[in-house]
Amino acid sequence: MEITESKGKIGITVRIPAIVTNRHRMVAVGRTLLYGSKMADSVDITANLAAVRAEIEAAARKADRNPEEVTLVAVSKTKPAALIARALAAGQRVYGENRVQEAEDKWPALRDDFPEAELHLIGPLQTNKVRKAVALFDVIETVDRPKLARALAHEMEKQGVRRDCFIQVNTGAEPQKAGILPEDCDGFLRDCIETLNLPVVGLMCIPPVDEEPSLHFGLLREIARRHGLAGLSMGMSADYPVAVAFGATHVRVGSAIFGARD
């Protein structure tokens, strides 16, 4: 993959046919994708990654934790491939995407040059997208209902693969959000692990924006402790240092790395 700049635009040469979209004002020129996004031109990805990693390290050490226990998941949803390529070139290897189709459009070309990149699905998953999700993603962080759990278990067996799964818990019981309710979590976890043999490695949550996140991080940690689960995916750009203090093993950071949306 080759990244070039010309007249304020960033180009990325890929080895597969270009998918043309209007989301980032992308234009296909031969086999080069040019992005006219101002965001892609101005964001210092390397500096932002260094700052986030330093804050993770500081929060971990303050909590008497090893910083290496915390995985930074760079949230690349809605971000153009050129911007992601710069993060990959800067050494970031774990990414989160919200939509199967968007990831399917961007990541095959990126993985041609960075095959060690790890991709997490962090958005809601419809059962009709399970086949593609299991084929594309390394980790599914949004298992939130029995029907989806059954579909994932079946598809993994069919494809002969095992994908680490996180159970998404709706710690704030918000009706507009996905996630299993805390009071239903124990039974759902038992079904996923014991009945379906789903490879559940941890829990994930997104606290309500108007509430103290530490309350939700503490609740998630307690549910995980009851079930002997080590993985805790919690904390985003606004609160990831707090999440690290509460034991997060994965923090999902987007705007602090890639900048605000255009």
7 occurs within a structural domain:
no
134 occurs within a structural domain:
yes
Question: What pLDDT is stored for residue 18 in this prediction?
Answer: 33
pLDDT, tens digit, 9 for 90 and up, residues 155-190: 999 999 999 999 999 999 999 999 999 999 999 999
Residue 39 CA to residue 66 CA, distance in Å, equals 33
Question: What pLDDT is stored for residue 261 in this prediction?
Answer: 65
The neighbour count for residue 91, using CB atoms within 10 Å, is 10
Question: What pLDDT is stored for residue 260 in this prediction?
Answer: 80
Question: What pLDDT is stored for residue 12 in this prediction?
Answer: 41
24 occurs within a structural domain:
no
Positions of E strands within 36-190: 71-75, 94-97, 118-121, 139-143, 164-168
Q: What is the pTM of this model?
A: 0.84
Query: With the C-alpha atoms ordered 44, 101, 179, 203, is the resulting torsion angle positive or negative?
Result: negative
Residue 166 CA to residue 200 CA, distance in Å, equals 6
Residue 96 CA to residue 172 CA, distance in Å, equals 22
Cα 210 to the center of its chain, rounded Å: 22
Structurally, the chain folds into a number of domains equal to: 1
Burial class of 160 by CB neighbour count within 10 A (0 to 12, 13 to 18, 19+):
exposed
Query: With the C-alpha atoms ordered 203, 209, 214, 218, is the resulting torsion angle positive or negative?
Result: negative
Residue type, 105: D
37 occurs within a structural domain:
no
214 occurs within a structural domain:
yes
Strands 9-13 and 2-6: antiparallel
35 occurs within a structural domain:
no
Question: What pLDDT is stored for residue 21 in this prediction?
Answer: 31
Q: For residue 166, what are the domain limits?
A: 42-258
Question: What pLDDT is stored for residue 13 in this prediction?
Answer: 40
Q: Using 70 as the pLDDT threshold, list the residues of the chain that sit under it.
A: 1-41, 261-262
Provide the CATH number for the domain around residue 168.
3.20.20.10
128 occurs within a structural domain:
yes
246 occurs within a structural domain:
yes
pLDDT, tens digit, 9 for 90 and up, residues 1-23: 444 444 444 444 433 323 223 33
